Amino acid sequence: TKEHNLEMVHLASDDVTIPEELTALNYQFYRHLTPSEAAETTVEKKNDVTNVSPAQLQKSQRKDSLSSTSGTKAGEGVTVISVNNIRQLGNTDMDILNNVVQEYEIPEEFHFALLNRIRIATSITSTESRRRLLIIRILAIAIMAHVIPEQVAQPKLFLYEPDIVSNLAELVHPDRNVPFDIQTVSFFALDGISRYRSKLGEVLTAINASANHGILLYVLRRVIADLDRDRQIYPQEYYDSLFALISYIITTQTGGTMVISAGIVPTLLQLINNKIPHQLK
């Protein structure tokens, strides 16, 4: 979506315009033949050569030279799949996957990546489905940050998406009116990414941790004000994700210094004045 200038905050919106190109299925993979398959292909070509005239042979050789660069359904090389009207292949994502796999003889190792492309193409125009896929992706990033070491995550994610931290910070900004479930998983993702040593400073900068008017303190003040109400507008998971991020930041030397200078201590002390019974835990 980046080539169409669609960031995460746009995908979370309900009034975004989705280009038609994103509703089409475009996928390519490189097919490798096993030694036995390569031998069978060679034998078949030899048999075909013995049964054709010289003119047909010359025409076939030109065709084979083109197929070796673009790939064919059964030959080795790059296979390009392009379907504009993806719904003509089936009513469900699995039906579409099965039809495409059967038509192009796609190896099993590419099925999962192809299914993801199909899901995006069929769901991106629906606000609810698009937001659900966005939540899944952000949760995957959060889990990745906790289970994959930094030296592995750098070439896998951050190299291709250098703006991922700032995009996540935009999602949690209260003025963006992003749904709470997306904000919740974004806080979890920021919490996970901040545990990478080289990414902590980037996370702190993205949420303006050193400024009293920054995103972090702005969100915290709104949450504390909400806790003073009898009926809260924020779900419990939102509180958990926000305070998980804050709890980790204040344990780091750089983060603790920044949020203290921004005035987080007086803000947190306001929680002591909360006398609502069901808020006292």
**pTM listed for this prediction:** 0.82
Tokens describing residue 10: 């746009």
C-beta separation of 24 from 82 below 8 A:
yes
Give the number of other CB atoms < 10 A from CB of residue 21.
Answer: 11
Please tell me the predicted confidence (pLDDT) of residue 55: 53
Round to whole Å and give the CA distance between 139 and 54: 60
Tokens describing residue 2: 């980046």
Q: pLDDT tens, 226-252?
A: 887 777 789 989 999 999 999 999 999
Round to whole Å and give the CA distance between 162 and 218: 25
Nearest Cα residue to 167 out of 189, 145, 197:
189
Round to whole Å and give the CA distance between 126 and 145: 29
- Angstrom distances, CA of residue 210 to CA of 48, 248, 264: 73, 15, 10
Please tell me the predicted confidence (pLDDT) of residue 108: 92
Residue 177 region, left (φ>0) first, then alpha (ψ -120 to 50), else beta? left
Tokens describing residue 59: 């025409």
Angle at 178 between CA 125 and CA 124, to 5 degrees: 15
Q: pLDDT tens, 85-119?
A: 888 899 899 999 999 999 988 999 999 999 999 99
Q: pLDDT tens, 132-161?
A: 999 999 999 999 999 999 999 999 999 999
Q: Is the pLDDT of residue 59 over 60?
A: no
Q: Which residues, including other chains, have CB under 8 Å from residue 120's CB and lie 6 or more apart? A: 22, 133
Q: pLDDT tens, 169-224?
A: 999 999 999 999 999 999 999 999 999 999 999 999 999 999 999 999 999 999 98
Please tell me the predicted confidence (pLDDT) of residue 56: 53
Query: How sure is the predictor about 61, in pLDDT bands with cuts at 50, 70 and 90?
Result: very low
Q: Which phi and psi (to 5°) does residue 78 adopt?
A: -80, 125
Helices (H), the chain: 8-11, 35-50, 54-70, 93-104, 111-123, 127-147, 150-153, 164-171, 180-194, 200-206, 215-227, 236-249, 253-262, 264-269
Q: pLDDT tens, 1-56?
A: 667 788 999 999 988 888 888 899 999 999 887 766 656 655 554 555 455 555 55
Round to whole Å and give the CA distance between 158 and 91: 35
